[in-house]
């Protein structure tokens, strides 16, 4: 299942030489793990809420490949070039399959949230 590394970056001003070096070298750290940029250096259009900063989305073939890339010696050596100059929130997430149906997810959530008729529920700590 395709997985994604998402970064919400908070740059302050134009990137310095270390950040530019990071950007120039990051693809070579992703290649062994089949990583590819889906969003990079692209303006975001905010339609709800507030979104200061920039968004980066990188796709990998699996969540294991995503984790292996991030933990790799090549990326860990490169990472401080960005982190010394730019704060970020970074998350990994698995995608959904081609047959994903949000209505089935809603039905499962409803079933978990609404006990069946006659079923007694207990608060945490009650015996």
- Please report which confidence band the pLDDT of residue 66 belongs to, taking 50, 70 and 90 as the band edges: very high
- Please report which confidence band the pLDDT of residue 54 belongs to, taking 50, 70 and 90 as the band edges: very high
Cβ atoms < 10 Å from Cβ of 37: 14
**121 strand-pairing partners:** none
Question: What is the pTM for the complete model shown?
Answer: 0.83
**14 strand-pairing partners:** none
More confident residue, 15 or 3: 3
Q: Render pLDDT for 75-99 as a digit per residue (tens, 0 to 9).
A: 999 999 999 999 999 999 999 999 9
3-state secondary structure of 127: coil
Q: Which of 7, 22, 8, 5 minimizes the C-alpha distance to 85?
A: 22
Q: Is the dihedral of CA 21, 23, 24, 30 positive or negative?
A: positive
Q: Render pLDDT for 44-53 as a digit per residue (tens, 0 to 9).
A: 999 999 999 9
Report pLDDT for 13: 81
Burial class of residue 22 in the structure, from the number of CB atoms within 10 Å of its CB (0-12 exposed, 13-18 middle, 19+ buried): buried
Q: Render pLDDT for 93-115 as a digit per residue (tens, 0 to 9).
A: 999 999 999 999 999 999 988 86
Contacts of residue 24, Cβ cutoff 8 Å, sequence gap at least 6: none
Q: Which of 23, 7, 6 minimizes the C-alpha distance to 82?
A: 23
Report pLDDT for 14: 84
């Amino acid at each position: 299942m395709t997985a994604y590394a998402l970064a919400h970056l908070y740059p302050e001003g134009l990137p310095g030489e270390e950040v530019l070096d990071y950007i120039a070298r990051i693809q070579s750290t992703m290649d062994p793990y089949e990583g590819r940029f889906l969003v990079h250096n692209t303006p975001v259009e905010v339609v709800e809420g507030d979104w200061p900063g920039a968004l980066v989305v990188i796709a990998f073939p699996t969540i294991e490949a995503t984790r292996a890339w991030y933990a790799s010696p090549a990326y860990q050596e490169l990472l401080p070039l960005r982190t010394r100059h730019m704060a970020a929130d970074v998350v990994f997430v698995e995608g959904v399959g081609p047959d994903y149906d949000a209505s089935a997810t809603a039905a499962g959530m409803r079933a978990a949230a609404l006990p069946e008729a006659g079923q007694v529920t207990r608060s945490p700590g009650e015996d």
